[in-house]
Amino acid sequence: MIEKSNNTSKIHFDVSFSEPQAHYADIKMSIKEIQTDFIDVKMPVWSPGSYLIREYSKQLERFSVEDHVKYEKISKNTWRIYCKNLNSLVINYYVYGFETSVRTNFINEEHAFIVPTATFLYIDGMIDESVTVKFFPKKDWKHISTGLEKVEHHTFFAPDFDILYDSPIEIGNQDIWTIQASGVEHEFAMVGGGTYDKERLSADVQKIVEEETRIWGSNPNKRYVFITHNYQSGGGGLEHLNSTVLGASRTAYSNEGSYKTYLSLIAHEYFHLWNVKRLRPKALGPFDYDQENYTAGLWIMEGFTSYYDNLIIKRCGFFSEQEYLNLLANDFTTVLNRPGHQIQSAAEASFDAWIKYYRQDENSPNSSISYYNKGAMLTVLLDLKIIAASKGTKKLDNVLQVAYEYFYLQQNRGFEEYEFQQLVEEVSGISVAEIFHAAHENGELAYNDYFNLVGFEIIDINAESSYLSLGINYQKNDGLHIITAVERGSGAWDGGLNVRDELIAINGIRLDMKDKEYDYFMQHSTEGEILDILIARDGIIKELKIQIRSNNKKMFRIQPLKDQSEEQQKLAQFWLS
């Protein structure tokens, strides 16, 4: 324990829980050494790593300032406090938390998960001030898990608000144990129970940590915390500077497939402690917590990480070669089956994450892609090109280690994309301009030009097959067939079918609940045939003529070439080992 006094910081928070069963935390903010006529205290509107304006201030209520100090609310997330001639003041407020995610507060009678950006106000212009936080847990809550520095019993210190906001806190009776890996203490904090095997999970995570530390060359932490919330059904994760928050299904650990998925999630979020938390585009730190922080580089941050997460699981021996290749191929299948891949580039997807990725609707597949999947597609091409050009002496690992050393350890700054490309080319000795250019264009590269370099090929196993389709998805709801998606370029798209239309009949035959009639027309019509579709739209009956067309959904597979050369075999082993 580091001995510090609350008096070392001008700003201090007390966090208590008078009504946890109603999902509230009680917050007291104490400020001293005030030297201005007024201060503006603000609630962040988003959390780094989750690129969406979440309006955390909507959950703040009963704001007050002690001793009748005058204040007014001047924006959605800003309170102006008039403090002329005051040396100190105390603010009280409450935050409501009842949303189960890795980026929002959740409080009940059993535990409290505190997201600092959704909880703690900051003083405008004083983001660099140090801060202490003292928790007053519910009587039967025994543990506090966080990456923050502990200074006294239940009291923690952050040298500035960036560190505070990057340190989630779990308070309750979580199952806690620690391991040592790469010279770093790692704490597991398991919430909600689960079928996990501590010894197996500890050993497996140790392998992941050591492999990732090997890739980057050094581990920046002395201590790291894995907070996992186990639900009946759950998933997702969010990276932080020296911790991560994960969601999982509490029974998933008993199933080999879902257990490996959880390990891949750990590999993904842990990889971020270098890639995005330290090696990062300029736009991603220092942060503006008051508005969007735009970058076209998420395809590098999330795409590289999405490529490496499963590759690391393969290197650690948890995935077979074919299991790994199938997961990699799935990135291609996911992207190239979305009509949006012809509309939105990886860079555009990155920049528009704030308004598109986290706000998916029924038309999103037609207009957008995921920078995760498309980024992973581009990353494997980059890796393969470096491996082949160096004749199996270098890979993307080497580039990342140099980039981390230069931009973070030496320069301690973010990079511009052109700088990152230049560094890749300096380390590898080759031009990768076509890959970075492809990140900003909607067209596709000749993928086999890259896979063939290491003796593999990517093929569409559905290339010789097709089926007839209207180009819609629908679901049955109380006996009704309701359209949920219309695919760009399909007969339904051109013919005017809409999401939320009720399908009633085809060619005068009413649809039944077992889909026999619908399936019959899809199987026995001819390509190009016009079908009479009877629908109800907002209670009005309409008849539309819709052309049934061939639908060539792709299914990619990555497999060895039939006649691999000795050189290709060597490169393939270097890639996958």
Looking at residues 328-342, what average pLDDT do you find?
A: 97
287-465+565-577: CATH topology is Neutral Protease; domain 2 (1.10.390)
322: how many CB neighbours lie within 10 A of its CB? 12
Burial class of residue 221 in the structure, from the number of CB atoms within 10 Å of its CB (0-12 exposed, 13-18 middle, 19+ buried): middle
pLDDT of residue 5: 42
Q: What is the pTM of this model?
A: 0.96
392: how many CB neighbours lie within 10 A of its CB? 16
Question: In sequence order, what are the residues at sequence separation of 6 or more whose Cβ sits closer than 8 angstroms to the Cβ of residue 471?
Answer: 486, 487, 489, 490, 491, 492, 493, 549, 551
- pLDDT over 70 percentage in the chain: 99
**Pairing assessment for the beta strands 131-136 and 11-16 based on DSSP bridges:** parallel
CATH number of 6-173: 2.60.40.3650
Q: What are the tokens at 253? A: 């650990």
467-551: CATH topology is Pdz3 Domain (2.30.42)
Looking at residues 19-41, what average pLDDT do you find?
A: 97
Looking at residues 90-110, what average pLDDT do you find?
A: 98
pLDDT band at 514 (very low <50, low <70, confident <90, very high): confident
Q: Rounded distance, CA 129 to CA 515, Å?
A: 63
The answer to whether 132 touches 157, Cβ cutoff 8 Å, is: yes
Compute and round to an integer the Cα radius of gyration of the chain. Answer: 27
pLDDT of residue 93: 98
Return the bridge partners of 14, or none: 28, 134
Which of 54-58, 128-132, 404-408, 473-477 is predicted least confidently?
473-477
**Pairing assessment for the beta strands 78-82 and 71-75 based on DSSP bridges:** antiparallel
Burial class of residue 80 in the structure, from the number of CB atoms within 10 Å of its CB (0-12 exposed, 13-18 middle, 19+ buried): middle
Using the predicted structure, report yes or no on whether residue 524 has a pLDDT greater than 60: yes
Task: Tell me the angle at which helices 371-389 and 298-315 cross, rounded to the nearest 10 degrees.
Answer: 70
Looking at residues 162-175, what average pLDDT do you find?
A: 98
Using the predicted structure, report yes or no on whether residue 1 has a pLDDT greater than 50: no
Looking at residues 495-508, what average pLDDT do you find?
A: 97
Q: Rounded distance, CA 238 to CA 259, Å?
A: 18
Using the predicted structure, report yes or no on whether residue 297 has a pLDDT greater than 90: yes
pLDDT of residue 515: 81
Q: Rounded distance, CA 94 to CA 483, Å?
A: 43
- pLDDT over 90 percentage in the chain: 95
Looking at residues 190-209, what average pLDDT do you find?
A: 98
Looking at residues 347-360, what average pLDDT do you find?
A: 97
Q: What are the tokens at 147? A: 């990456």
319: how many CB neighbours lie within 10 A of its CB? 21
pLDDT band at 225 (very low <50, low <70, confident <90, very high): very high
Higher pLDDT, 551 or 121: 121
pLDDT band at 420 (very low <50, low <70, confident <90, very high): very high
Return the bridge partners of 95, or none: 25, 60
pLDDT of residue 488: 97
Residue 20, phi then psi, degrees to nearest 5: -65, -30
Spell out the domain ranges in the chain.
6-173, 181-273, 287-465+565-577, 467-551
Q: Rounded distance, CA 385 to CA 503, Å?
A: 50
Q: What are the tokens at 170? A: 């779990």
Question: In sequence order, what are the residues at sequence separation of 6 or more whose Cβ sits closer than 8 angstroms to the Cβ of residue 515?
Answer: none
Dump pLDDT digits (tens) for 449-484.
Answer: 999 999 999 999 999 888 999 999 999 988 899 999
Using the predicted structure, report yes or no on whether residue 425 has a pLDDT greater than 50: yes
pLDDT of residue 7: 46
Task: Tell me the angle at which helices 396-403 and 417-428 cross, rounded to the nearest 10 degrees.
Answer: 130
Q: Rounded distance, CA 79 to CA 76, Å?
A: 9
Mean pLDDT (the chain, rounded): 96
For 171, what's the count of Cα atoms within 13 Å in the CB-facing half-sphere? 26
pLDDT of residue 512: 86
Using the predicted structure, report yes or no on whether residue 4 has a pLDDT greater than 50: no
Using the predicted structure, report yes or no on whether residue 507 has a pLDDT greater than 50: yes
pLDDT of residue 63: 98
Question: In sequence order, what are the residues at sequence separation of 6 or more whose Cβ sits closer than 8 angstroms to the Cβ of residue 165?
Answer: 44, 47, 48, 116, 117, 120, 287, 289
Using the predicted structure, report yes or no on whether residue 556 has a pLDDT greater than 80: yes
Using the predicted structure, report yes or no on whether residue 3 has a pLDDT greater than 60: no
pLDDT of residue 552: 85
Dump pLDDT digits (tens) for 246-264.
Answer: 999 999 999 999 999 999 9
